[in-house]
Amino acid sequence: MAAKKLTAILESLSRGGGFLSSLLVIALIFLVAYDALMRYLFASGSIALQEVEWHIFAVLFLVGISYTLLHDKHVRVDIFFESYSDDTKRIMQIVSMALLVIPFSALIAVGGWDMALQSYQQHEISSDPGGLTHRYLIKGVVAVAFVLLILQALSEIIKSYSALSRRDTLFKVIAALLLFALLSYLGVAYEWDYIVEPLLLMLFGSLAMLMAGFHVAFVFAGVALYFALVTKGMGFLAFEMLPYRIYGIMDNVTLMAVPLFIFMGLILEKSKMAETLLISMGRLFGPVRGGLAISVVLVGAILAASTGIVGASVVMMSLIALPLMLRHGYSAPLASGTIAASGTLGQIIPPSIVLIILGDQMHLSVGDLFKAAVIPGLLLVALYILFILVASFIKRDLAPAIVSDEPYGKTLKEALKAIFAPLLLIAVVLGSIFSGIASPTESASIGALGAMVLAWSYGELNPGLIRYASTQTVKLTAMIFMILIGATAFSLIFHEFGGGDLALEFFSGDVKSVWLFVLISMTVIFLLGFFIDFIEIAFVVVPILVPIVHSLGIDPVWFAVLIALNLQASFLTPPFGFALFYLKGAAGESVRTGDIYRGVVPFIVLQLVALLIVAFYPDIIYLLGK
């Protein structure tokens, strides 16, 4: 009883933080939109208001980390984890919280407190005229957020321990971990880091823990902390600058676009716009052999440009289009493959979250990346449609045509009516970015407001929808940025071991070949995509490649587009492609896992074809201008 009361108190803090963060999502949308309109229409800007915006953004994702843990929304590779017994899952949760989350959070909380205290003692204010004062307050949020994370981790330990049916197993695991800690200590004394290459141990240790099912963000953070502590000459000092790195993420205006585009996508997902669009386009192309599949590709492209949320797109099309395709005699592999591949177009077609992340990690203009990715995205759509047409022509029963009694003129009118609103929103959001009128963050806020207007026009806008979209935005945003924080810690230790220098020396000194570097890096990213998510790859692998790209004189925008095309495949490649999980979860028993795997293979090949075309014809990305 006492344990339940304690967990209730601890979790009330996380829920309160989540509620605050969800309100801040709405506040951020309106403030950024208001600021943009005032500056562009009335030439009236405010430095203080702009700083309030990134302050809100910082509190939103930092405080949301503990709330996301409460709802178990921090991503993990769960293909093995799902098959574990309940007791095994609870033991893993206890180990994860005790050895990964709490130590790392305590490190950041102490460092964040020191950073805020130093700011207070120096009476730090904004470096910009007219900016905010009392800078220590926002820096102090780092310490507060990770204290909240520690408290939520304690709650998770208490809940898991209380529910354990065999606690003796836990004690055996603890004993094994203590023995491992002792051996690590002895290893330091005997300089094990000079006997075994620590870089390899870091990489393979992280991969093993990811495969086991531990939360991705906390694996990177915990592994970094462990290797810092057991390596002579490192220790806690290796993380001295980490709170300041986190502060750099907090005031990153480019990354502020992430929660705004997520909110926009979630509103459109629930507004029935996508459902109306899919049904109308299906009727429009149904009379053509393979027409239903073509309509799915086109709707996937429109959803990619308006929502960009892969999970939402795949699930929605699985629920609506898959039963329709199967009912009309479509091959199960073709139907499932088309849906999974079309749902992933949001990774390359702007506004894409992965392009925003790549822009930040590679220090590139997000607007330039958006513009460069449009043609490769349309190329991929064209390849999908061409494949469907050819396949259905060669094998006539693969995707039969659908005869309708409804006049085609009426069908066309309904389809144009359904497509007009989302295309207008896409034109406003992307057009303002491409023309240089507004930044991606400003356009994202206008897009979020536009999404709410569209939801209202469909009669779907209500407090419940806004509450759903804002709370889901907090969870997704906090998950992404906790991975970024964990990856930042991992990168610090990786570079302390000289990993970045070794890679740079190998490619610029030993190899010196641009094409060999591109081949190796694309192969590594593609293979990693079989096992880990695009976010981890973007945050961990890409920063290692950036110095090499510059040293070899490679066009970074072109290289970023190649990475984006490659990362899209990570959603489709078995066994851990997330789009496959989304589709199977939504489709249930209507398709077999084998059908899904067979269905995505040709689309993976098409993605590699698109990658090769862009690689050998780099000017294609500049057809819309530089």
CB atoms within 10 A of CB 555: 13
542 and 511 in a common domain? yes
Residue span of the structural domain in which 228 resides: 2-250
Domain boundary among the residues 207, 229, 250 is at 250
Identify the residue with better confidence: 350 or 114.
Answer: 114
279 and 160 in a common domain? no
Task: Please report whether residue 599 resides in a domain.
Answer: yes
* pLDDT range class, residue 309, cuts 50, 70, 90: low
Task: Please report whether residue 255 resides in a domain.
Answer: no
Residue 76 pairs in a beta bridge with: 215
Task: Please report whether residue 348 resides in a domain.
Answer: yes
297 and 175 in a common domain? no
* pLDDT range class, residue 53, cuts 50, 70, 90: very high
Domain boundary among the residues 227, 250, 273 is at 250
Mean pLDDT of 554-567: 92
148 and 268 in a common domain? no
Asked whether residue 194 carries a pLDDT value surpassing 70, the answer given is no
Q: Which residue in the block uniquely carries the two structure tokens 């991606």?
A: 440
Domain boundary among the residues 228, 250, 272 is at 250
Mean pLDDT of 187-199: 62
549 and 414 in a common domain? yes
* pLDDT range class, residue 546, cuts 50, 70, 90: confident
Phi and psi angles of residue 76, each rounded to the nearest 5 degrees, phi first = -145, 155
Task: Please report whether residue 427 resides in a domain.
Answer: yes
Asked whether residue 200 carries a pLDDT value surpassing 70, the answer given is yes
Asked whether residue 625 carries a pLDDT value surpassing 60, the answer given is yes
- Let me know: does 349 contact 301? Beta carbons within 8 Å: yes
Of the ranges 36-50, 194-208, 288-302, 384-398, which one carries the lowest mean pLDDT score?
194-208
Share of the chain above pLDDT 70, in %: 90
Of the ranges 407-411, 589-593, 600-604, which one carries the lowest mean pLDDT score?
407-411
* pLDDT range class, residue 604, cuts 50, 70, 90: very high
243 and 323 in a common domain? no
225 and 86 in a common domain? yes
Instruction: Provide the mean pLDDT of the chain.
Output: 84
- Let me know: does 336 contact 591? Beta carbons within 8 Å: yes
Q: Which long-range contacts (CB under 8 A, 24 or more apart) does 419-424 make?
A: 419/277, 419/280, 419/281, 419/302, 421/273, 421/454, 421/457, 422/268, 422/273, 422/277, 422/302, 422/305, 422/306, 422/454, 423/302
Q: What is the pLDDT, as a whole number, of residue 417?
A: 77
Share of the chain above pLDDT 90, in %: 29
273 and 162 in a common domain? no
- The dihedral through the CA atoms of 544, 545, 548, 549 has a sign that is negative
Phi and psi angles of residue 215, each rounded to the nearest 5 degrees, phi first = -60, 135
Distance of CA 117 to the CA centre of its chain: 33
Task: Please report whether residue 50 resides in a domain.
Answer: yes
Q: What is the pLDDT, as a whole number, of residue 189?
A: 59
224 and 276 in a common domain? no
* pLDDT range class, residue 340, cuts 50, 70, 90: confident
Q: Against a cut of 0.85, is the pTM above it? A: no
319 and 242 in a common domain? no
- Split into its structural domains, the chain has a count of 2
| 511 DSSP 8-state letter | I
Q: Quick: pLDDT tens for 59-98.
A: 999 999 999 999 988 877 666 787 888 888 999 999 999 9
- Let me know: does 511 contact 107? Beta carbons within 8 Å: no
Q: What is the pLDDT, as a whole number, of residue 180?
A: 78
Asked whether residue 512 carries a pLDDT value surpassing 80, the answer given is no
Q: Which residue in the block uniquely carries the two structure tokens 């020191």?
A: 114
- DSSP helix/strand/coil, 401: coil
* pLDDT range class, residue 342, cuts 50, 70, 90: confident
Q: What type of residue is 536?
A: E
Rounded distance, CA 449 to CA 455, Å? 10
Rounded distance, CA 315 to CA 309, Å? 10
452 and 318 in a common domain? yes
Supply the angle between the helices 408-434 and 366-394 in degrees, to the nearest 10.
150
161 and 127 in a common domain? yes
Task: Please report whether residue 429 resides in a domain.
Answer: yes
- Let me know: does 615 contact 350? Beta carbons within 8 Å: no
Of the ranges 6-15, 51-60, 300-309, 543-552, which one carries the lowest mean pLDDT score?
300-309
Mean pLDDT of 266-294: 76
E-strand spans in 236-352?
none
Distance of CA 72 to the CA centre of its chain: 16
Task: Please report whether residue 276 resides in a domain.
Answer: yes
Q: Label each residue of 209-263 as H, E or C.
A: HHHHCCEHHHHHHHHHHHHHHCCCCCHHHHHCCHHHHHHHHHCCCCCCHHHHHHH
Structure token digits, residue 622: 């500049």
